[in-house]
Structure 1
Amino acid sequence: MNDSSPACQDKFRRYRARKKAAGLREIRMWVPNVDAPGFWERSVRAAAILRNAPEEEKTMLFIEALQASDPEAWD
């Protein structure tokens, strides 16, 4: 469903202008597709590599800080 009509483009242009005026910035990001073949196998393998590695504690503290939405704890 790709509506590239001028009316639709203008609607999104106005939307983006309102967001920008509110002090926000648009970003686009690619994230892993959890439904992709092999995703869970790669995730389990990555977790196994990290388990008991010297950086495990620092990595887990970082992840927990992200989950808690505590930017001060991200360092």
Structure 2
Amino acid sequence: MATPVNERVRKRRQALQAAGLRPVQIWVPDTRRPGFAAECHRQSVQAALSDADDHDLQDFLDAALSDVTSDGEA
């Protein structure tokens, strides 16, 4: 006869705890929620507009890209 699910779950949790792990619950954005895509777009536009005004950031990114491509990897 198969082991009941709750017994298998209990054993698995005990094994994980014995390995020094602990359970953690996290909450993440619900990508199925109405308006999620529109809010992502709104925030990305705001970030792009902010970055466009930061010329030091662009110089830094260009220099970093130059470092990567000068190694012959790109």
Instruction: State the TM-score, normalizing by the size of structure 1.
Output: 0.52
Matches within 5 A, 1:54-65: none
Residue 34 of structure 1 aligns with an amino acid whose one-letter code is T
Query: In structure 1, what is the Cα distance between the partners aligned to 2:8 and 2:21?
Result: 17
Residue 9 of structure 2 aligns with an amino acid whose one-letter code is F
RMSD: 2.3
Query: Which residues of structure 1 form unaligned runs of 5+?
Result: 1-6, 58-75
Shift, 1:16, TM fit: 1.0
Greater relative CO, 1 or 2 (CA 8 Å, sep 6+):
1
More helix by share: 2
Query: Which residues of structure 2 form unaligned runs of 5+?
Result: 58-74
Runs of 4+ in 1 over 3 A off after TM superposition: 7-10
Structure with greater Cα Rg: 2
Identical columns (%):
28
